[in-house]
Amino acid sequence: MTPPHASRSATPAQAQRVLVLQGGGALGSYQAGAYQALCRHDFEPAWIAGISIGAINAAIIAGNPREKRLEQLEAFWNLVSAPLPWQPDLPGDMARSLYNEGSAVAIAAFGVPGFFTPRLPPTQFWPTDLPQALSYYDTAPLRATLERLVDFDRINAKTTRLSVGAVNVATGNFVYFDNAKQEIRPEHIMASGALPPGFPAVEIDGDYYWDGGIASNTPLDYVLDQEHATDLLIFQADLFSARGPLPTTMQEVAEREKDIRYSSRTRLNTDQNRKIHNARKALRDLIAKLPDDLKDDPSVKYLSRAAKENTVTVVHLIYRQKAYHGSSKDYDFSRLNMAEHWA
């Protein structure tokens, strides 16, 4: 885990604590490890927002009492990761790279326990008007896993706020399913992680949804866009880094492209929030200079509410890749890599 970076130097004592979890497939065990580290410092999120694998981690955390969360996270990651019959016993990054590639190939061929299985017969043999012709894998095992590890009654009791992002296939609009506004069911979590063409779109109330990461891979913008009566202390656990070395091989080109694509807009979101914060301060200063007879004007009252001051502190946790990782790192669910990401 990298040292946390805060967008402000001061941490508000009574701030609402928020956990923001990016998408990133097999890299998501890093978020479980980050949450474990935060728990050691008595971090209790009032709100968790996630996309894709981040939505699954978020649901497991929000859908369990505090004392069971790490146990259920560990149960999930042990289920979806499996040791290969051989481990790299040669020194250096080359052996580990070969191991990772072999693991990714095996997962692509056979699927991941408790998560997804390849379609049989394969997709191309199904008639085009059937759902089986629209994705390479069946995610029915994920529903069973979520129903076993997540208490959705607890989520809908709103003990912890949960928000997960997805994309409407028909409209292309980005949407958030939020237990502050609606009931959350397993299909909402599955929709947030339905990355095409591997996974099928998920139907919810007559509409179909794909993975939110194809539009924006971080829910930070959603958190910042909401009206807040209190200060916010946000821990954001990202799985892809916007910064990285210049590629020297085609494999590194593929990996770097994926990092840039899925690290989506994190810095833009924080920069925009800083600009909004400055604009609100200027508006408050302007309103303070108005004569008293104008301060009761409905428009001024509206602007006063919009300009209400609150401090947003973002602590940014970013997974740092190893030299032997490749472009398959987000679907390499091997036990060896899962444990390494978690640590």
Which of 32-46, 58-72, 275-289 is least confident? 275-289
Which pLDDT value is given to residue 90?
57
Which pLDDT value is given to residue 6?
46
pLDDT at residue 175 is higher than 60: yes
More confident residue, 166 or 94: 166
pTM: predicted TM-score of the whole model, two decimal places: 0.87
Tokens found for residue 206: 């007559």
Q: Give how many domains the chain has, as a whole number.
A: 1
Distance CA 156, CA 183 (A): 6
For 303-321, how does the pLDDT look when each residue is reduced to its tens digit (9 = 90+)?
A: 888 777 778 888 989 888 7
For 213-266, how does the pLDDT look when each residue is reduced to its tens digit (9 = 90+)?
A: 999 898 998 998 887 768 899 999 999 888 888 988 888 898 888 888 888 666
Distance CA 55, CA 52 (A): 5
Residue 323: CB atoms within 10 A of its CB come to 11
Distance CA 285, CA 342 (A): 47
pLDDT at residue 64 is higher than 60: yes
Which pLDDT value is given to residue 3?
43
Average pLDDT over residues 188-209: 98
Task: List the domain range (segments joined by +) for residue 174.
Answer: 5-342
Highest mean predicted confidence (pLDDT) among 176-185, 230-239, 279-288? 176-185
More confident residue, 46 or 263: 46
Distance CA 108, CA 114 (A): 15
Which pLDDT value is given to residue 75?
98
Mean of the per-residue pLDDT values of the chain: 88
Q: What is the CATH number of the domain that holds 259?
A: 3.40.1090
Backbone angles phi, psi at 301, to 5 degrees: -65, -40
| Range list of β-strands (E), 179-311 | 202-204, 207-211, 232-238
Which pLDDT value is given to residue 86?
63
More confident residue, 218 or 197: 197
Distance CA 48, CA 45 (A): 7
Distance CA 241, CA 263 (A): 6
pLDDT at residue 1 is higher than 50: no
CB 222 within 8 A of CB 228: no
pLDDT at residue 8 is higher than 60: no
Which of 49-63, 141-155, 163-177, 213-227 is least confident? 213-227
Which pLDDT value is given to residue 270?
67
